Amino acid sequence: MTKSLWREISPQEKQQIKQEAKSLLNNFASKINKIKTHPNHTKNNSGSRQEGTGWTTDPEFHDTSFANAPLTKNNFIIAERGKWT
């Protein structure tokens, strides 16, 4: 059988966890509120976005990104999942 990391926590630890969670949520909420969006970007009468041609990217962006990537294959950047965290 595998060892488990579960254990009983004290009331003080529960309170500390609640305070830390509340602090994280409040911090996240304050940062989300700072994001500015175009008023028509999120609200329209149909509930869906209008079709368009999209945007064009700087042609050098692709070349620069691939030049900086340590490993590429078939026009994809190969990266280890979660390694950057």
Q: Tens digit of pLDDT per residue, the chain (85 long)?
A: 456 678 889 999 999 999 999 999 999 999 888 887 666 555 556 666 677 887 787 878 888 888 888 888 988 888 877 766 5
What's the predicted TM-score (pTM) here?
A: 0.39
- CA 11-14-18 angle, to 5 degrees, is 140
Structure tokens, 15: 């309170």
User: Residue 29 — φ and ψ, nearest 5°?
Assistant: -60, -40
CA 76 to each of CA 9, 57, 60, 83: distance values in angstroms, whole numbers, following the listed order: 46, 17, 16, 17
